[in-house]
């Protein structure tokens, strides 16, 4: 059995957290408890090691042209310091992965995607460069680089004390480079906060100072429950190559005025199913793979689910007939236990 990969920050918390294998990485699933970490992010601040995410530097005269063709969102309109959420599609319009493009300079970009698709994404980008003869160099960040996410209503003031900069001056999906660190403002929890990317030692120093300031270290468990409350999909779980951006309800994010891989497979098409949420009437830990019924007839299967620590009700997501309306009464078959529920359009909780 091959050795699990370790992030540049692994040594800072190894032995202090419950660890699991996650896409080939040795990652913390929780430090104290999933619920405690979840509520710390909702009410104060939490910090996550997300160094396992795939980060690709794309540089060269055709870097922009490559990304315009590889991504369904528009890239050319980005200025230095701008970020954009996008999908990378295959020829059939299926989502290889979703990710965020950073424009560092005129001919220099950073593309952050999921750990589970690392090989697929890297190979796909290399294939596009070769097939299109693009003048662009790909460099995939190694384990000496790190990335953390600091999230929560107190994240901004805590980071200001450490970095000497106020992230609230940054617009959403903007970033700055400060003391060799990329400091961006996006997030995967529904709370305000920032991501920091840089060398292992530089990011590790900030990580340790955050812990000294009382910020709660958080693992993959809370990251999952937080994103589920907001209805954010997870790569390789909710989003796969059998799913199109139309089924995700992402039409507004797509730039149909340009050419991109998979465009011909989705342009002018209407989705017959849609990504929707399911909310139970009582507490329950929902799980992916559970069948969802309407009037005794199967109408969908959950791709992911959990118990919402805020709502104290079961929440899940999956694909359902496009003509089903939010509010429709449902039944979730949770390992033989039938739970009353309703169809909803995420997010499950509303943030100011």
Domain 272-344 is found in CATH 2.40.30.110: yes
The whole-angstrom separation of Cα 182 and Cα 141 is 14
Residue 1 has pLDDT above 80, yes or no: no
151, burial (CB in 10 Å: exposed 0-12, middle 13-18, buried 19+) = buried
Domain with CATH 3.30.1360.120 in the chain: 10-51+143-229
Residue 350: the pLDDT is 86
Model confidence pLDDT, tens digit, residues 60-97: 999 999 999 999 999 999 999 999 999 999 999 999 99
Mean pLDDT value across residues 330-346 = 97
Q: How confident is the model at residue 290 (pLDDT cuts 50, 70, 90)?
A: very high
- Of the CA atoms within 13 Å of residue 159, those in its CB half-sphere come to 30
Q: Phi and psi dihedrals of 12, rounded to 5?
A: -80, -20
Query: 10-51+143-229 in CATH: which number?
Result: 3.30.1360.120
| pLDDT score of 99 more than 80 | yes
HEC readout, 160-202:
HHHHCCCHHHCCCCEEEEECCEEEECCCCCCCCEEEEEEEHHH
Question: Do 317 and 302 contact (CB within 8 A), yes or no?
Answer: yes
Position 299 pLDDT exceeds 60: yes
| pLDDT one-digit tens code per residue, 129-185 | 999 999 999 999 999 999 999 999 999 999 999 999 899 999 999 999 998 999 999
Gap between the Cα atoms of 33 and 255, Å rounded: 42
**Mean pLDDT computed over 328-347:** 97
Distance CA 203, CA 182 (A): 10
In the chain, ranges of CATH 2.40.30.110 domains: 272-344
Residues of the chain with CATH 3.30.70.1400: 54-140
Q: Are 117 and 97 in contact (CB under 8 A)?
A: yes
CATH architecture of 54-140: 2-Layer Sandwich (3.30)
**pTM score of the predicted model:** 0.96
% of residues, the chain, pLDDT over 90 = 97
Please state, in angstroms and rounded to a whole number, the distance separating the CA atoms of residues 98 and 206.
Answer: 27
| Angle of CA points 297, 302, 307, to nearest 5° | 120
pLDDT, residue 352, reads: 54
**Per the structure block, which two tokens stand in for 261?**
């891989």
How sure is the predictor about 334, in pLDDT bands with cuts at 50, 70 and 90?
Answer: very high
CB-count exposure of residue 130 (10 Å: 0-12, 13-18, 19+): exposed
């Amino acid at each position: 059995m091959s050795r699990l990969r370790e992030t540049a920050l692994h040594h800072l918390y190894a032995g202090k957290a419950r660890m699991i294998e996650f896409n080939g990485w040795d990652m913390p699933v929780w430090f104290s408890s999933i619920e405690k970490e979840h509520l710390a992010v909702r009410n104060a601040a939490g910090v996550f090691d997300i160094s396992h995410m795939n980060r690709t530097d794309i540089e060269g005269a055709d870097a922009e042209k490559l990304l315009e063709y590889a991504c369904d969102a528009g890239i050319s309109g980005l200025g230095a310091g701008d970020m954009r959420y996008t999908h990378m599609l295959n020829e059939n319009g299926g989502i290889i992965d979703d990710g965020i493009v950073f424009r560092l300079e005129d001919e220099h970009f950073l593309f952050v995607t999921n750990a589970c698709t690392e090989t697929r994404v890297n190979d796909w980008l290399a294939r596009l460069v070769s097939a299109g003869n693009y003048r662009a160099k790909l460099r995939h960040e190694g384990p000496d680089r790190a990335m953390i996410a600091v999230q929560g209503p107190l994240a901004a003031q805590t980071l200001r004390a450490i970095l000497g900069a106020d992230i609230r001056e940054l617009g959403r999906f903007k970033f700055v480079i400060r003391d060799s660190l990329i400091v961006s403002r996006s997030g995967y929890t529904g709370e305000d906060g920032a991501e920091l990317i840089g060398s292992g030692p530089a990011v590790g120093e900030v990580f340790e100072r955050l812990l000294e300031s009382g910020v709660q270290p958080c693992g993959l468990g809370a990251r999952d429950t937080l994103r589920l409350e907001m209805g954010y999909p997870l790569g390789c779980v909710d989003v796969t190559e059998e799913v199109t951006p139309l089924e995700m309800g992402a039409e507004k994010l797509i730039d149909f005025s340009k050419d991109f891989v998979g465009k011909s497979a989705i342009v002018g098409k209407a989705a017959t199913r849609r990504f929707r949420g399911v909310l139970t009437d009582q507490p329950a830990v929902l799980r992916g793979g559970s069948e969802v019924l309407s009037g005794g007839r199967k109408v969908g299967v959950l791709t992911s689910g959990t118990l919402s620590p805020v709502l104290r009700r079961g929440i899940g997501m999956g694909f359902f007939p496009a003509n089903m309306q939010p509010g429709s009464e449902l039944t979730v078959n949770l390992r033989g236990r039938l739970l009353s529920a309703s169809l909803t359009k995420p997010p499950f909780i509303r943030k100011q």
